A = this chain, B = another copy of it.
């Protein structure tokens, strides 16, 4: 069998573990040939690819990033890809295409599948916001990085009677904020799923200080936003080059709290540190299992689907299901976190 693999979208710890697993299973068990397209779908269109043998994936299991590179494909080039899909199958002689990526990549995968390409998808997002899989690899690593950062910040915040506002990733879903906030014992958590009122955070902080606590840590998802009319936010600022720069919610909220509390409040924007580096054991195992099952699906001819975690099992779910809606934080998960941390999730 001839298998093509590519990684697309924002990168994510565990991508190399999937590639390695795909190659190991395909080459050693089935004697398949595996080719890797460079920089996502672009490599497919521009015919940039290389053969991936056992040596090519040696030593990459614990490495962050992706040895294949990644990029986002423009809509029109994607359409182009779909039109040419069947030709490409012939040209490359690919029996299965395995795109590893997030919502956008899987939507493209679905289009290619509808266009007739034999596709097996592997979901990837540190945001953990893909429906029909319990978890995605990369998420655990991102939560771990954010949690360790907050562990560190708590000690310094405590010594200086300071409020720390930590902005973590999560544009549309608050999973990283929810789990790292719970893990680190943040005193307030702001999610994209529910607009927050800064007044609630002010109240929480004041109550803590009244109880003799000397600090507070607020964990904010980058996609969180204040409720209508509660806080002036989102007005872009003009930077020195005349570009309008929007201030992140973490920075804006820290300033707002400092202003309202009359206490020092410092923003910390974790940013891309959450995306990189050595994946946790959890993510390496999940990524490895995804790669293994993708090859099994390919050899079963089980196309148009993606790998997914359900409980402790890896199952195949139709791409159609996977990309219909974003998996956001449900009400009951917010309730859990709230009561434990004695503060409304905002």
Do the beta carbons of B275 and A156 come within 8 Å of each other?
A: yes
Tell me, yes or no, whether A300 is within 8 Å of chain B by CB: no
Given contacts A159-B11, A233-B240, A289-B336, contact A276 B69 (CB under 8 A): no
| Pair A239/B247 contact, Cβ less than 8 Å | yes
In the bound assembly, the distance between CA atoms of A185 and B287 in angstroms comes to 13
Report yes or no: B268 in contact with A24, Cβ–Cβ below 8 A. no
Q: Does A281 contact B (CB under 8 A)?
A: yes
Query: Whose C-beta in chain B lies nearest to the C-beta of A241?
Result: B259
Task: Give the Cβ gap from A323 to chain B, nearest Cβ, in Å.
Answer: 19
Report the minimal beta-carbon distance from A32 to chain B, rounded to whole angstroms: 12
* Minimal Cβ-Cβ distance residue in B for A293: B336
Band of interface residues on A? 35 or more
Residues of chain A having any CB pair with chain B under 8 Å: 7, 10-11, 13, 15, 20-21, 24-25, 28-29, 61-66, 69-71, 134-135, 140, 143-149, 151-161, 164, 179-180, 182-185, 214, 232-233, 235, 237-241, 243, 245, 247, 252, 255, 259, 266-269, 271-273, 275-278, 280-282, 284-285, 288-289, 291-293, 310-312, 336, 339-342
A24-B341, A63-B155 given; 6 more Cβ-contact pairs under 8 Å: A69-B159, A70-B159, A153-B273, A154-B276, A266-B271, A269-B271
